[in-house]
Every structure is written in structure tokens, then in C-alpha cells.
């Protein structure tokens, strides 16, 4: 049976990991390659590396980093952050990324999804959507949740799928960072409307939160950052507990 | 020396990286002489079956591959091209394996493409393994699990591997491992010196590394 995926997300700035301090036995907690390998050994099913560098120099360092990640990691990994053109996607593909995420750039110019899917295949394009509830409506935001757009979550997710997205990575900006759990009903609606996998992001504070979004929320995968980076819920513990709840995870 | 066949169907980097991690010496090539001389041959592939098949034929590699006597491993589309026929683009393939490649059913409430980690069963012990639900083992699956392949040596009879595909080979005489996704399909095939995996061993963690190591030791 297809397993529900557990995906740690690593924020990268100028080639080093921003978070992640509670790992014993790591020579360099700042090294995204070593941290990624550690997660892979612990049972992570995939990894997401997000570039949060603000400078061109930082972005160049990131592409070099992707090459090193690909050389060292034996599980799939996705990269993203600031990707804005087909050329950017091509650079990351050639560096060895299995998938890329597009976010704000796709909201501004949705054809980007079609272009990447046509050239490199749907399996290569993950459309990341940051949305927040404004006046009872899920409004898609850009620039890390700062700018509300004209788009609405469900119609945008559907459009992204029709344009060739292979997966949707949805973050509720109302829940992100709260550690109070995911908006499971919204995830369930999204999953029922779409035929592509949904990755749930933002809000996990406990094993139960993750269990809920994978069952009630019908998500195919759960992505989290701080609960893993600070060792609050180690991946082997999370997977064992999910398994005991009869959720199908790769052990 | 390992020959990785390059027939212009996309990115071979993840296969190359996996070989490098295992310490294998390899060459990426479409030259028949280098492929014939190699100790092991890998046929990777991403993309669409009929155009991939056309690219093999353009280079005369269809005949070269069929005549090889050293161990040959097809991965994903590479393995599909070693079957009789693919529904994807109605492609006549190499017919090394007696399987046909069919589109995965999209009317079973399962998402297609089949993407992520799924279980693969192999060997007669999987039939009696208590952790595998009986529903996953209809008679045709049990029959297909009778053969043991050196490709899967030292692995548990049920393990997780990484898949990204919308088409898959049917069960046949050469099936050595099975995954069920709406329908049971050949997760791995073997006939004489020819091997194939529908999943991606180069992305399947420690399990995948073991499979590639097993292949390189043949």
C-alpha cells in the first residue's frame, strides 16, 4: 500500500541551514547535506530544501548546494524558493533535484506551471500555495504570505493541477508556526477536489496533528520543520506512533 | 566497467550519483562497442515510451540490447522498453520480457501517477508472510511470487521502494516482484541476464542501494 510521506523541510540561507540545533553527533549542524543525510537515515521519505537567500550570490551558492545534495542523498528531494522561470527550473534539474516548487511566480504568471510540466514532466512540478482566511474566504498570498492576491485557494489549486502540477503543497498562513495543528477540513476538501497528491504544511505541533491531517485531512504527505529540527518529535518516534495508529507509513 | 545507456531521454544524473556512491566505475554512452564490452549495462529512462523507443531504434540500440549476454538492468521506462508492447504511444518494444505495459487504472479511487513509497513483495516467503494481508495476495500474485531473483538477495520479502509512474508491466513468467496499485503489476522482472525494476532503486534509500549492489555483483 502506498505510504503516507513524512517530509522535513530545511530552510537554506547562503548555502547553510538556518534552523536545526538539536542534533547530537552532527559535525556541522549548518551543513544542509549532512543534516539531510541524517534525516534520510532516520526514515524521512523525502526532503524539501527552501532557499531563503535574498541575494544573487546566495542563489548561486544554492544551485551548487543542490549538486552536492544530489550526490549524497539516496531519497527524493524537492527544491524551491524564489524560482521564477523555466531556466531556473532547468538549472535545478541539471543539478539533480527530483522536483521543484513554484509559488509566487506561478501566481503572477500561471503559464510557468505549463512550461515546466511540458519540458520536464508533471512529476517535476510542485505548486506551493500559501493562503489565509480573509472574510470567510481562503485567499492565496504571495511573498511569504505578505501579499494577498486575487486568487482563491480551491480554484487556484485546481487550475494548477489542470496546468500540469504534479503535487500541491498547501500552507495555511493562519496556522503556520502556531503548532496548533492543520486546518483538516480544508485539506480534506482540497484532497477530494483534486486528483494529484496534497502535501500538508504549517502548524504541526504534535504527533496527533500529523495523524489528523493524514486521516481526517486526507493529505498524502505531511511536511514540517521545527518539530524535527529541534528534536521535539524525532522521525523514528513519529513514524512508530503513526504506525501504531494504523496509518500506513514506511518503517 | 558499467555502461549507462544514454539515448537522450532526459536526466541520468540520479543514476550516475547512485553508481558513484556505490563506487562503481561507469561510462554514459550510446556507443554500441562500449555497451557490448561493459561488464554491466544500465538502461534508465524517463519520459514517454514510444518516443524513447524511437530514440533507441534511431541509434540501432534495440538490436544491441537484445544481443547482450552480460547483466542488463532496465529502470522505469528502461524496463518498460524491455517488455513486448506499451500502451503509452502504442509502442512496440524489445520483447525481452513477456509482459505488456498498461496504464494504471484511474477509476479505483487511487491517484495516478502512482508516486511515492509503496510496498513490493517478492519470493515465495512473501506468500506465507503473516504481515501481508491476504487481500494483497490473489492467486495470480502468489503464482508470480514463486521465483527468487538474485537482484533482491538479502532484502526482507516485503519492503518499501520509490515509484513515479503512470504505466506498468503486467504479471508474466519473468515477474520476480509484485506491487499492487489498483491492479497487481510487475515491480521487478528477470529473464536470464536481463533485469528490470519499475521503481527507482537510485531513489529508494538503503533498499535501493542493496538492489543496485546485488546487480553489480552479478
Question: Could you state, in order of their start, the residue ranges of all structural domains in chain A?
Answer: 5-244
pLDDT the model gives residue A27: 53
Chain A contact present for B209, CB below 8 A: yes
For A90, the enclosing helix (H) or strand (E) is helix A86-95
Report, as an integer, the average pLDDT of A219-233. Answer: 91
A130 as an active site residue: the answer is yes
At residue A203, the 3 state secondary structure works out as: coil
B56 pLDDT band, cuts 50/70/90, is very high
What pLDDT shows up at residue B159? 93
- Give the residue among B105, B84, B65 at the shortest CA–CA distance from B169: B84
What is the pairing mode between strands B100-103 and B85-86? Answer: parallel
More confident residue, A1 or B66: B66
Question: Is the separation of the CB atoms in B113 and B98 below 8 Å?
Answer: no
- Looking at the DSSP bridge assignments, the partners of residue A80 are A50, A101
Mutate to test the interface with A, among B13, B131, B135 (most CBs of A within 10 A): B13
CB contact under 8 A, B11 and A121: no
Q: Do A98 and B14 touch (CB under 8 A)?
A: yes
Q: Mean pLDDT lowest for which of A56-65, A129-138, A209-218, B152-161?
A: A56-65
H or E segment at A63?
helix A56-72
| Average pLDDT of span A95-107 | 95
The reported pLDDT for the residue numbered A145 is 83
Our measurement of the distance from residue B44's CA atom to the centroid of its chain's CA atoms, rounded to an integer in Å, reads: 9
CATH superfamily of A5-244: Aldolase class I (3.20.20.70)
Is the peptide bond prior to B113 cis by the omega test (within 30 degrees of 0)? yes
- Which residue numbers of B are catalytic? 76, 200, 202
The whole-number pLDDT of residue A217 equals: 98
B3-17, B85-99, B201-215: least confidently modelled range: B3-17
Identify the H or E element spanning B197: strand B194-197
Q: Which residues 38-67 of A are in CB contact (within 8 Å) with B? A: 40, 45
pLDDT of residue A69: 96
> What is the mean pLDDT of the segment spanning A132-145?
93
Sign of CA dihedral A92, A96, A101, A107: positive
Partners of B181 in the β-ladder: B183
Q: Is B204 on the interface with A (CB under 8 A)?
A: yes
Put simply, the answer to whether A3 touches B164 (Cβ < 8 Å) is no
The model's pLDDT over A12-37, given as tens digits with 9 standing for 90+, comes to 888 888 765 555 555 556 789 999 99
Q: Please tell me which residue, B140 or B23, carries the higher pLDDT value.
A: B23
Q: What pLDDT is attached to residue A29?
A: 63
Domains of chain B, earliest start first: 2-216 (3.40.50.880)
A196 near B CB under 8 A:
yes
**Identified catalytic residue from A88, A130, A212, A220:** A130
Contact A123 B113 (CB under 8 A): yes
Task: Report pLDDT for B128.
Answer: 83
Whether A2 and B117 lie within 8 Å, measured CB to CB: yes
Amino acid at each position: 500500500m502506498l505510504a503516507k510521506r513524512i517530509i522535513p523541510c530545511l530552510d537554506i540561507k547562503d548555502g547553510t541551514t538556518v534552523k536545526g540545533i538539536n542534533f547530537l553527533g552532527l559535525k556541522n549542524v549548518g551543513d544542509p547535506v549532512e543534516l539531510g543525510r541524517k534525516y534520510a537515515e532516520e526514515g524521512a521519505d523525502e526532503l524539501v530544501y527552501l532557499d531563503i537567500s535574498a541575494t544573487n550570490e546566495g542563489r548561486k551558492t544554492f544551485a551548487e548546494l543542490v549538486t552536492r545534495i544530489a550526490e549524497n542523498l539516496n531519497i527524493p528531494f524537492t527544491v524551491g524558493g524564489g524560482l521564477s522561470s523555466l531556466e531556473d527550473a532547468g538549472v535545478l534539474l541539471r543539478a539533480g533535484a527530483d522536483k521543484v516548487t513554484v509559488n509566487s511566480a506561478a501566481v503572477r504568471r500561471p503559464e510557468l506551471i505549463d512550461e515546466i510540466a511540458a519540458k520536464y514532466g508533471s512529476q517535476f512540478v510542485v505548486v506551493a500555495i500559501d493562503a489565509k482566511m480573509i472574510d470567510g474566504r481562503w485567499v492565496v498570498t504571495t511573498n511569504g504570505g505578505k501579499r494577498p492576491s486575487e486568487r482563491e485557494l480551491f480554484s487556484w489549486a485546481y487550475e494548477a493541477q489542470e496546468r500540469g502540477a504534479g503535487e500541491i503543497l498547501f500552507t495555511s498562513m493562519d496556522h503556520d508556526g502556531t503548532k496548533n495543528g492543520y486546518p483538516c477540513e480544508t485539506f480534506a476538501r482540497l484532497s477530494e477536489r483534486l486528483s494529484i497528491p496534497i502535501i500538508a504544511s504549517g502548524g504541526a505541533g504534535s504527533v496527533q496533528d500529523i495523524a489528523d491531517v493524514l486521516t481526517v485531512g486526507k493529505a498524502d504527505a505531511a511536511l514540517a520543520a521545527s518539530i524535527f529540527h529541534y528534536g521535539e518529535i524525532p522521525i523514528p518516534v513519529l513514524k512508530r506512533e503513526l504506525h501504531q495508529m494504523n496509518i500506513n507509513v514506511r518503517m | 566497467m558499467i555502461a549507462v545507456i544514454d539515448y537522450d531521454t532526459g536526466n541520468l544524473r540520479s543514476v550516475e550519483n547512485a553508481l558513484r556512491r556505490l563506487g562503481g566505475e561507469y561510462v554514459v554512452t550510446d556507443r554500441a562497442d562500449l555497451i557490448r564490452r561493459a561488464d554491466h549495462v544500465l538502461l534508465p529512462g524517463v519520459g514517454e515510451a514510444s518516443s524513447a523507443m524511437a530514440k533507441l531504434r534511431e541509434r540501432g540500440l534495440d538490436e544491441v540490447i537484445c544481443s547482450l549476454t552480460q547483466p542488463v538492468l532496465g529502470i522505469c521506462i528502461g524496463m518498460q522498453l524491455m517488455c513486448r508492447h506499451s500502451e503509452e504511444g502504442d509502442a512496440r518494444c524489445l520483447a525481452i520480457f513477456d509482459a505488456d505495459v498498461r496504464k494504471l487504472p484511474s477509476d479505483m479511487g487511487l491517484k495516478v501517477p502512482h508516486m511515492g513509497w509503496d510496498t513490493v513483495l517478492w519470493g515465495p516467503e512473501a506468500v506465507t508472510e503473516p504481515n501481508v494481508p491476504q487481500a494483497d495476495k490473489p492467486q495470480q500474485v502468489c503464482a508470480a511470487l514463486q521465483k527468487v531473483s538474485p537482484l533482491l538477495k538479502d532484502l526482507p520479502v516485503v519492503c518499501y521502494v520509490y515509484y513515479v509512474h503512470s504505466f506498468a508491466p503486467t504479471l508474466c513468467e519473468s515477474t520476480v516482484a509484485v506491487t499492487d496499485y489498483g491492479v497487481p503489476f510487475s515491480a521487478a522482472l528477470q529473464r536470464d541476464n536481463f533485469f528490470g525494476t519499475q521503481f527507482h532503486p537510485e531513489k529508494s534509500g538503503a533498499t535501493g542501494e542493496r538492489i543496485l549492489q546485488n546487480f553489480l555483483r552479478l
